[in-house]
């Protein structure tokens, strides 16, 4: 890994291979390590694969204050990373929160995104719409309200050797998805001072309780060719979000539904995700 200046902070990145650039954005509560199965395969296929620890995560800078984690700053990091790496455009891939940032980046800066690949992540507007008028999705999103309670949410996740975080992530995937070494890498990262708070600030800055009562935020339609990979056994995101998200795309969109696969799709079904990703990227020319 190395650290790279991106605007007023530094992001830690993993980079493998050479060729057309593919930037992969992780989610909550994860790390660039979440793309460990994709980076070497993309490199072998002739791409330059780049995965950052997002702002506040892992070895990247961890600014203080909730406002530092608002979407405009996070999207600025993505564009700043593309600039710092010297690319006019990249293939952009995102999962979970990283997928939300990928959606927003493609909407606001379409000239910087050659193709968009989303793995189990709703379009931000679709997500807000569903929390307002889809009772089943509201129930699945319960944790977003818990995460608003400063100190309480951190303790809830970390107490008893991260029992609740373990249940939300590692025990929520198919057996064997995460090895004991994998689990320890994540837990070590979130044991650092301020790491859990930084990760939770993504929710506090962008999904405060009051936001559930306001009209959904609006973004320009997606005009970038898009592939959506969706594990259908996602405990947190219902299939209704997939339909709503695809409706925000005004470009060719390819949907790949993976029956029986959980939210942690690229880690649980890496060979299938890798094959889909390489086929999609090669077809882009």
Task: Give the pLDDT of residue 1.
Answer: 87
Catalytic residue among 57, 96, 123, 202: 96
DSSP secondary structure string, 136-148?
HHHHHTHHHHHTT
Cα angle: 158, vertex 166, 264; to 5 degrees: 130
What domains are defined for the chain? 2-283 (3.40.50.1820)
Compute the distance between CA of residue 91 and CA of residue 112 in angstroms, rounded to an integer.
9
Catalytic residue among 57, 59, 203, 234: 203
pTM recorded for the entire structure? 0.97
203 is catalytic: yes
Task: Give the pLDDT of residue 214.
Answer: 86
What are 57-103's pLDDT values in tens digits?
Answer: 999 999 999 999 999 999 999 999 999 999 999 999 999 999 999 99
143 is catalytic: no
* Ranges of the chain with pLDDT below 50: none
- 3-state SS class at 93: strand
Task: Give the pLDDT of residue 212.
Answer: 87
186 is catalytic: no
């Amino acid at each position: 890994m190395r650290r790279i200046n991106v605007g007023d902070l530094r992001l830690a990145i993993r980079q493998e291979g050479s060729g057309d650039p593919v930037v992969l954005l992780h989610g909550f509560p994860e790390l660039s390590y979440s793309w460990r199965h994709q980076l070497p395969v993309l490199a072998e296929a002739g791409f330059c694969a780049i995965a950052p620890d997002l702002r506040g995560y892992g070895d990247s800078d961890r600014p203080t204050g909730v406002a530092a984690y608002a979407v405009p700053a996070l999207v600025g990091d993505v564009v700043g990373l593309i600039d710092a790496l010297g690319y006019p455009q990249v293939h952009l891939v995102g999962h979970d929160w990283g997928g939300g940032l990928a959606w927003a980046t493609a909407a606001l800066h379409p000239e910087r995104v050659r193709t968009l690949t989303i793995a189990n992540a709703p379009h931000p507007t679709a997500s807000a719409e569903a929390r307002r008028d889809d009772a089943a999705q509201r129930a699945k999103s319960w944790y977003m309200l818990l995460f608003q309670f400063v100190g309480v949410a951190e303790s809830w996740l970390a107490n008893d050797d991260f029992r609740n975080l373990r249940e939300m992530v590692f025990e929520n995937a198919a057996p064997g998805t995460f090895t004991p070494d994998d689990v320890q890498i994540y837990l070590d990262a979130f044991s650092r001072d301020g790491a859990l708070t930084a990760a939770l600030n993504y929710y506090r800055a962008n999904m405060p309780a009051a936001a559930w009562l306001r009209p959904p935020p609006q973004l320009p339609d997606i005009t970038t060719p898009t592939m959506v990979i969706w594990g259908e056994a996602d405990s947190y995101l219902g299939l209704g979000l997939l339909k709503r998200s695809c409706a925000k795309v005004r470009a060719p969109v390819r949907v790949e539904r993976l029956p029986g696969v959980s939210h942690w799709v690229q880690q649980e079904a890496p060979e299938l995700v890798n094959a889909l990703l390489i086929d999609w990227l090669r077809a882009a020319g």
